[in-house]
Amino acid sequence: MPSFMLNCSQLISADNPFIDELPLWIGSSGKTVIKSPNCSPKQRKTLCRRITEPQRTTTVENMAEKIYLLAYHVLFIMFVWAYWQTIFTKPLNPLKEFHLSHSDKELLEREDRGESQQEILRRLAKDLPIYTRTTSGAIRYCDRCYVVKPDRCHHCSVCDKCILKMDHHCPWVNNCVGFSNYKFFMLFLTYSLLYCLFVTATDLQYFIQFWTNGLPDTQAKFHIMFLFFAASMFSVSLASLFAYHCWLVCKNRSTLEVFRAPAFRHGTDKNGFSLGVSKNFRQVFGDEKKYWLLPVFTSLGDGCSFPTCLMNPDPEQPASPSGNAAIKSDGETHLFPAKPLRESQSRLLSNGLSWAESEGTGNKDCQGTINPAMTMEKET
C-alpha cells in the first residue's frame, strides 16, 4: 500500500493531504504505521497523539467548559429544589390550644356586647403565650377559623386559613409564605437570582457579538438576544426583592408587619420581635451552618410563640412555671415569653446583651402606655 512508504515526518506534516484520513485508516492497521522503522520514538509518540486525540471542537475537554456546566447544573438543581419546597410545603396553622372549643364558640356567639366577648377571649388567652393585641388593645381573634390568634399569625383570604407568621400570599408560588416555608422562599430568591445572573454573564459575549455582526446569520442569534434580555430583566427584579427580604430577616419583620407594626399592651412597636441581626438570622435559618444553603427546614421555634423585646411586663400574662423573670441590660427590661419555649427558642434568649437592635434603635419610642379600650376587633 503506498501509504506504508510514507515516513513519519511526512505523516505528521501540516500540509500532508492524507493526514485527515489517517485516524480512519489507522483503526484497522495502525500498528503497522506506528512501528515503521522510519519513525523515531519521538515521531512515533507525536503521530500517536495526532491520530488518537479527539477534536477539541466537538468534545468537552476544556476545563472552563466543565466548570461552566458544573456551575450551571448546581444552580439549576438548587433553584428547582428551593422552588419545589416553597410551593409544596404546607403553611402551618395555629395549634389546637389556640382553637376555641364548641362550648366556647356557643358562649361567644350568644354574647352581643363587645366587652363581654372580650372578657371571654381574655379568659381563654390568659394561659397562652400571646403578647400582641389589636390596635385598640383587644385580643386578636379570627371569627372564621375560631382561633385566638398567636403572635404574628394572620388570616389569609386566599387560603381561607390562619397562617403562622404569615409574610404574604405569593401568586408566583401559589402558596402562603409563612413560618413553615419562609426559609425556602429566601433560598428560592437566592438561587433564582444567582441563576439569572449566571445566564446573563455567560450570554454577554454573544450578545455583544450580535450587535457587532460577529455571529452567523441564523435564527439562533435572535434566541441569544431574547435570552439576554429575559435573564437581565429577571435579575433586576429579583435583586430588589431579594434585598428587601434580606432587610426583613435582619429586622425580624414580615411584610405585613412593615405595613402595620405589631401592637403590644404598651402600644405598637415595630422592633418588638427583633433580637439583633445574628439571632434574627438564626431564627429563620437555624443554628446549623451546614444547612443554611439547603432547602431543608431548620427554622427555630414552633411558629406560635416568639421571643419578644418588651419594655413593660404584660399584667394579663401569668408568670411562667419555670420561673419567668425579666432580664435587665443597658437600662432596659426584657421579658421571656410566658410559656416555656422549646430548646431551639430558648437558645435565642441565652444572651441578654443581644436583645437590642445593633443600631441602638430598638425600643426608644416605647412609652409604656396601655390602651384601655376593650371593644371587639377582628383582624385579617
User: 94: closest CA among 178, 215, 175, 182?
Assistant: 178
Taking the C-alpha atoms of residue 124 and residue 139, their distance in angstroms, rounded to an integer, is 10
Q: Which amino acid belongs to residue 180?
A: S
Q: Which amino acid belongs to residue 247?
A: W
Taking the C-alpha atoms of residue 316 and residue 306, their distance in angstroms, rounded to an integer, is 17
Residue of 48, 156, 159, 170 with catalytic role = 170
Q: Between helices 277-285 and 220-251, what is the axis angle to 10°?
A: 120
Compute φ and ψ for 155, nearest 5 degrees.
-90, 125
Burial 206-223, CB ≥16 within 10 A → b, else e: bbeebeeeebeeeeebee
Taking the C-alpha atoms of residue 33 and residue 370, their distance in angstroms, rounded to an integer, is 99
Taking the C-alpha atoms of residue 289 and residue 298, their distance in angstroms, rounded to an integer, is 10
Our answer to whether residue 170 is catalytic in this structure is: yes
CA 316, 317, 321: angle at the middle one, nearest 5? 145
Cell of residue 371, nine digits: 390602651
The catalytic site residues sit at 170
